[in-house]
Amino acid sequence: MSEAGATKKFLYINRKAPYGTIYAWESLEVVLIGAAFEQDVSLLFMDDGVYQLVKEMQTKGIGMKNFTATYAALGDYEVNKIYIDKDALTERGLTLDDLQHLVWEDENEDWAEKDSIHLVGRDEIADLLDEQDVIFNF
Amino acid sequence: MSIEINGKSIETDEEGYILNLADWTEEIANVLAKEEGIEMSENHWEVVNFLREYYDEYQIAPAVRVLTKSIGKKLGAEKGNSKYLYELFPYGPAKQACKIAGLPKPTGCI
């Protein structure tokens, strides 16, 4: 057990399509709150969760808030470990080009833009889960 | 709850944040500011307008830490610090400035 107030490793797993249920938006809000309290945050998108990062969603027809643009703010919150199950992408006929290009700016390197998204295989996902203190599943 | 401006009633939540973003005008901002005990100066507008642009782009109001950093990047280090922002908005820059900007309370607001 870590001491109170210490930084913990939080992993948020996103497994559902973005719109139609409230899971994706709730997850994103919790992620932003956790990051605002300066925790070590990682995100993993797997199963239908990979659809959450697809570019240019239109939600007018279903009357839901369009939060697709909010993922681009993750870099500002220093959330820059965004993992995507590459098999889940392939199984859905998607490639990295279908997703938003999420970046963060490295303060220590004169605000150089760096990629936040990392494609991972299922063996790497097992290691990722293993190293966390706290895992949230949405 | 609601506030009255020029005979028009604007709906707010119980903490005074306006419910419909599209209702916002500069006039409403001035009324909301007055309720917070703030006289809007050019420096106040700069932060309020920055928040509205941020919301327009990302669909969220930034947490105060993110606000401070982003303001610093855009307007310079002498404005991107909590001292400056708390002088403008004594009860919390994210909270008060968001209210005046007609945005929802920031996610993870402190």
Closest CA to B44 of B88, B96, B74: B88
Say if A37 falls within a structural domain.
yes
Q: CATH number, domain at A67?
A: 3.40.1260.10
- How far apart (Å, rounded) are the C-alpha atoms in residues B19 and B30? 17
Average pLDDT over residues A91-120: 93
Say if A91 falls within a structural domain.
yes
Say if A2 falls within a structural domain.
no
Q: State the sign of the Cα–Cα–Cα–Cα dihedral A87, A90, A91, A94.
A: positive
| Interval A67-85: pLDDT, tens | 999 999 999 998 999 999 9
Q: Do B60 and A65 touch (CB under 8 A)?
A: no
ipTM score: 0.81
User: What are the boundaries of each domain within chain B?
Assistant: 2-100
Say if A53 falls within a structural domain.
yes
pLDDT at A3 over 60: no
DSSP summary character for residue B110: -
Q: Which domain holds residue A49?
A: 9-137
Predicted confidence band of residue A22 (pLDDT cuts 50, 70, 90): very high
**Annotated catalytic, B109?**
yes
Asked whether B12 and B19 are in contact (CB, 8 A), the reply is yes
Q: Across the A/B interface, how many CB contacts are shorter than 8 Å?
A: 43
Candidates 1.10.8.420, 1.10.10.370, 3.50.50.60, 2.60.210.10; CATH matching B2-100: 1.10.10.370
Q: Which chain B residues touch A79 with a CB distance below 8 Å?
A: none
Predicted confidence band of residue A124 (pLDDT cuts 50, 70, 90): very high
Q: Which amino acid is at A33?
A: I
Closest CA to B41 of B30, B32, B52, B51: B30
Say if A3 falls within a structural domain.
no
The pLDDT assigned to B30 comes to: 93
Strand partners, A106: A112
| Interval B34-84: pLDDT, tens | 989 999 999 999 999 999 999 999 998 888 888 898 899 888 889 989 899
Say if A1 falls within a structural domain.
no
| Interval A31-52: pLDDT, tens | 988 776 778 899 999 999 999 9
- Is B62 an interface residue toward A (CB < 8 Å)? yes
Long-range contacts of A119-128 (CB under 8 A, 24+ apart): A119/A83, A119/A84, A119/A86, A119/A89, A120/A44, A120/A83, A120/A84, A120/A85, A120/A86, A121/A86, A121/A87, A122/A85, A122/A87, A124/A83, A125/A44, A125/A46, A125/A83, A125/A85, A128/A11, A128/A42, A128/A44, A128/A83
The pLDDT assigned to A117 comes to: 96
Q: Which chain A residues touch B105 with a CB distance below 8 Å?
A: none
The pLDDT assigned to B107 comes to: 65
Helix axes B42-58 and B64-75, enclosed angle (nearest 10)? 110
Say if A4 falls within a structural domain.
no
- Is B58 an interface residue toward A (CB < 8 Å)? yes
Position with higher pLDDT, B3 vs B75: B75
Domain count, chain A: 1
pLDDT at B100 over 90: yes
The pLDDT assigned to B110 comes to: 44
Predicted confidence band of residue B5 (pLDDT cuts 50, 70, 90): confident
